[in-house]
A = this chain, B = another copy of it.
Amino acid sequence: MININLSPRQKEIIKLVKQEQPITSEKLAAKVGVTRAALRPDLAILTMIGILDAKPKVGYVCSEKSSVSLVHDYIKKIKVNEIMTKAVTIDEQSTIYDAIVTLFLNDVGTLWIENNGNLVGAVSRKDFLKVAMGGTDLNKVPVGIIMTRMPNVVCVDMDDLAYDAAQKIIDHEVDSLPVVERNYENDEEKIKVVGKCSKTNITKLLVRLGQNL
């Protein structure tokens, strides 16, 4: 929260408006025991910082707004490329077993699956656990069989907002998003994975925001 040192008179004005809204500046001045002119700077400040609203021909009311826009504005400026980290990819022909080993060796929660360097799918720890529980021969079946296939993998671009990435993670109930670059070759879209943005990256962002930079 923003620490604004309101004067005792400003606090009194807020209290009076809360009790009697809407209230005109004449009535407020009478209650505070000063002239309207003396009250004008206080009322100007209280409306400008959004605590009071001045309604023409009605009077002053307490503002409906209650968010800290500065926090909101600040968070809405951070881009995915400021928080993304290295993505781990594997070819779709690799066996599920090799994919799981790659997952553990890199200590990540999601593998991005490629074909000729293009993103074709994703497999999460959850997908691997499901298949490891069944009777599948992990050494024979290629990872491409069990992946979530494009275009069903939710992606972000480097220039997208970190906030929008967080929103996508929550909305689509995934742990991680691939950060991609899209190019066209012979009218065909090529999607290259250049990073990832996971719940871990978002959690680190919140820790960063909470630190005194």
A41-69, CB < 8 A from B: 41, 44-45, 48-51, 63, 65-69
CB distance B3 to A68 under 8 Å? yes
Task: Report the 3 A-B pairs with minimum CB-CB distance, sorted nearest first.
Answer: A199-B199, A3-B50, A163-B210
Q: Complex: how many Å from CA A44 to CA B212? A: 24
- A128: Cβ under 8 A from any B Cβ: yes
Q: 0/1 per residue, A69-85, Cβ < 8 Å to B?
A: 11111111100000000
Number of copies: 2
A interface list, Cβ under 8 A from B: 1-6, 41, 44-45, 48-51, 63, 65-77, 100, 104, 107, 109, 125-126, 128-130, 132-133, 138, 162-163, 166-167, 169-170, 173, 175, 199-200, 202-207, 209-213
Q: Complex: how many Å from CA A212 to CA B206? A: 17
CB distance B1 to A209 under 8 Å? no
Of B66, B107, B200, which one neighbours A213 at CB under 8 angstroms? B66
Of B68, B138, B170, which one neighbours A70 at CB under 8 angstroms? B68
